[in-house]
Homo-oligomer: A and B are copies of this chain.
Amino acid sequence: MEIFRTPAELQAYALSNKRAGRTIALVPTMGYLHAGHCSLIDIARQKADLVIVSIFVNPIQFGPSEDLDKYPRDFEHDAKLCTEHGADAVFAPEPGVMYAPDASTVVEEQKLSRPLCGARRPGHFRGVTTVVAKLFNLALPDYAVFGMKDAQQLLVIRRMVRDLNFPVEIVAAPLIREHSGLALSSRNAYLTADEKERAVILSRVLDAARPALIAGGVEAIPAVLEVMKHEIEKAGGRIDYVEALDASTLETPNAKTADLLVALAVYFGNTRLIDNTLVWVKQ
């Protein structure tokens, strides 16, 4: 497996492979890989001739008071998992080679990026779309695989790809959970044993919301969200948001809404966890 540390190395590798007619699948990650990431690599492996995994804790998608500095890192373990899952190359640059000191260009999605995490983390999605555009231009993928845990990110990236005509097919990979129901996340490493046990409430309230919303439709949303918030707070979670939006537009659901994204961000201790589920309210 190749390991590239600079944009120029990766782009040269990608260009020569594209010119030789080989297809490329990219798995963009921030490292500290878990079974969720591995499932993305497995999917990428089935899609293309070459699989490139990027490992980059992207500073411009973190707010000034967020966890950039303490974000967990373990490159040796990451590289081992990438090898085991058949990646052909890992791209692991330092921030200094990714961003020039006078970098002044951003890619911004201005609609789907506004609610939910976009409202709570100003600038986050601008950082995401900017770095993903860079990674697309460096790895030149035919496919890029993103996990559905970051449901809003997936929507924003799909919109960016459509609007800017990137020649990339975005592949959505199912959210992977622990046996307890807790969604896999690199940030789970921050949780104490007690917090981890309490955080199981997130998948439980999402599971309970599904039948209630399927039965009650859009009108049931306010009551369902109230119950969810109550249960989360009872378990010691501090709510950042718990919302149900139209899953296509991320606008307030209305009579035409066919499917809902029920999404939440909740703190346990200092750790912010996100989770979500899709509910078809019209079938």
A interface vs B, CB < 8 Å? 7, 11, 15, 18-21, 99-100, 102-112, 129-130, 133-134, 137-138, 140, 159-160, 162-167
Contacts and interface: CB of A to CB of B under 8 A. Distances in A.
Contact of A163 (B20, B21, B104, B138): B104
A11 B19 CA distance: 15
State how many copies of this chain the complex holds: 2
A110 B102 contact: no
Given A133-B133, A137-B165, 10 more contacts: A18-B19, A19-B19, A20-B21, A104-B109, A104-B110, A105-B109, A105-B110, A106-B108, A107-B164, A138-B165
Contacts of A110: 104-106
25 contacts: A7-B165, A11-B165, A18-B19, A19-B21, A100-B162, A100-B163, A104-B110, A104-B112, A104-B159, A105-B107, A105-B110, A105-B164, A106-B108, A107-B107, A107-B108, A107-B133, A130-B164, A133-B133, A133-B164, A134-B164, A134-B165, A137-B166, A137-B167, A138-B165, A138-B167
A29 to B, nearest CB: 18
A7 B140 CA distance: 18
Contacts of A100: 162-163
